[in-house]
Amino acid sequence: MTYPGDGNGTTPFGHQPSEYDSSPGFAVPGYGAPQPNPAPYQHGAAPVPEQPLVVIGDITCTQNHVITPSGTCPIAGTQWIVTDMSVSTERMSQTGLVLAIVGFFMVCFLSLLFLLMKERRTTGYIQVTVRGAGGFMHVTNIPAYSPVTMGDVSGRVNYARTLAAMA
């Protein structure tokens, strides 16, 4: 194996310590090593990003903004719409059917209780639409894997509505 280095292709790079280095002989600033002068505050520097408070699909809400792949808008005055486009079905379990047929020859009528086994399945998605000032609109679809998903998404949207009302 060759290493990039001083030109012959066999010498590895020398050790370049960083502030995250834990190698022997490295001094962490503040523990006996001289500290570099801190840079003075520069006006016009980028503000500290806001903490995300709720995430709904690909929509992120902070205290003052709604951040989506379509763009960012102020959270004040946003309108939220939730549409449940999921379908829950219930049918006889294939496992119960096989167990009832096989067990019928061994236990007779008791194995017919396996026919009562049901399989619940939820398919589809939950659509969340957010509208903001200046024609801003974003739609996201969240897959629904169980009936509980609608309750979870509705709770998140209600929290986003609360943030919009408080802003």
pLDDT for the residue 1: 46
CA 88 to mean position of chain CA atoms = 24
The CA–CA distances, whole Å, from 95 to 92, 102, 120 equal 9, 11, 13
pLDDT for the residue 52: 87
DSSP assignment of 12-57 equals: PPPP---TT--STT---BTTTBPPPPPPPP-TTPPPPPPPP-EEET
pLDDT for the residue 27: 46
Give, for all 167 residues of the chain, the pLDDT tens digit: 444 544 555 545 555 555 544 445 444 454 454 555 555 544 444 455 778 899 999 999 999 889 988 888 899 989 999 999 999 888 888 888 888 888 877 777 777 777 788 888 899 999 999 998 888 899 999 999 988 999 999 999 999 999 999 88
Six-digit token string for 55: 């995430």
Residue 128, number of CB atoms within 10 A of its CB:
23
Taking phi over 0 as left and psi of -120 to 50 as alpha, with beta for the rest, 103 belongs to alpha
State if pTM tops 0.75. no
pLDDT for the residue 56: 92
Q: What are phi and psi of 94, to 5 degrees?
A: -70, -35
